[in-house]
Amino acid sequence: MKIISIIYLTYLIFLNVLIAQVSGISASKLSAVNTATVPENTLEFEPSFLLGFSSKLWNEEGNLIHSFDGKNSLETTSQLNFRFTYGVINKLEAGVSIPGDASSLSVGLKYNFLNWDKNSFAFLAGFNTPLGNKIYTISNKTNSVDEFDNSLATGIVCSRSFTKNLSLDLNFESQFHIDNTTGIPDYFINADLGYYLNKIQLILGLYYMSISHVKNSKKLTINIGTTIERNDDFILVLNFPVDIYGINTKQFWGFAFAFTYPIK
C-alpha cells in the first residue's frame, strides 16, 4: 500500500494570506491531490516545514521587477504546519491543517465517488478561517490581507494511472470568501506527474492560482520533487517550488519537506 501524503500549504507561506484551498486532506505527490483516501479508521499525521525566498515581484502589467531599492536584499519566510487526516469510511476522509503558530485553521474532506478503468474522480470541500496572532479589520470590507476573512472551498480531482509506475493527478478548485465584497471566487489548478523507481517517486508539477480578493493576483509555479517511501511506516516528501510567472505578486523559490505517519 502506498502511503499518501502532501506538502499542500507551500503556497500559504508564499502568499502570506489565507488561501489554503481545500486543506487537511491527503495526496500522493507534491501540490496536486489524488483520489485515494486514508483507509477507514486510520489516522494520518503529517508535519511539514516550508522555507521560501524572494527578491523580485511581478507588477500589475506582469513585469518582473526588484522588490527593494537595493539589489542586495532578500526576503525569507518559513512556516511549520501540521496535518491530521482520518479515514471516516471507505472512500471518505476528513482532516484538519494548522500552522505551528496556530494563526489559522483549515478543515477539509475528500470523497472518491467514481473509479473507471485507469481513471478515478473525487470531490473536495473545505473551510478556512483565521485564528489569531494578527490585528484584523472586521468592520470595513477592504478586501485586503488585513481583513478577517473566512472562506469555503470546493474542487474536483481527476487521477489517471497510465502504467503501474506512471500516474497523473489533476485538480480544479475554487474558493469563495464569505466576507468578500467583490463576490468573485479564487481559482486554483494543480497538476502533478509522478513516476516510480522502486520506492522513490520522481515528480514534476504545475500550479496556477488566480486570487481576486487581494489585488487580483495571478501566479504560475513549477514544482520539482520526490517522495521516498519505507513500506507502510512513513514517507518523506521533498519539493522545490519556483514561481515562473505572475501578476501583482511576489516571485518566490524555496524548499519544503514533510514526513507522513499512519496511525492505525
pLDDT tens per residue across span 74-110: 999 998 999 999 999 999 999 999 999 888 899 999 9
- What is d(CA 130, CA 151) in angstroms, rounded to the nearest whole number? 10
Residue 87's pLDDT is what?
96
Domain locations in the chain? 10-263
Span 143-152, average pLDDT? 68
For residue 210, what are the CA distances in angstroms to 19, 200, 205?
10, 32, 17
CA 118 to chain centre: 25
Window from 43-47, 63-67, 120-124, 133-137 with minimum mean pLDDT: 133-137
Residue 5's pLDDT is what?
45
State which CATH number among 3.40.50.300, 3.40.50.920, 2.40.160.40, 3.40.50.150 fits the domain covering 10-263: 2.40.160.40
pLDDT tens, 200-225? 999 999 999 998 766 788 999 999 99
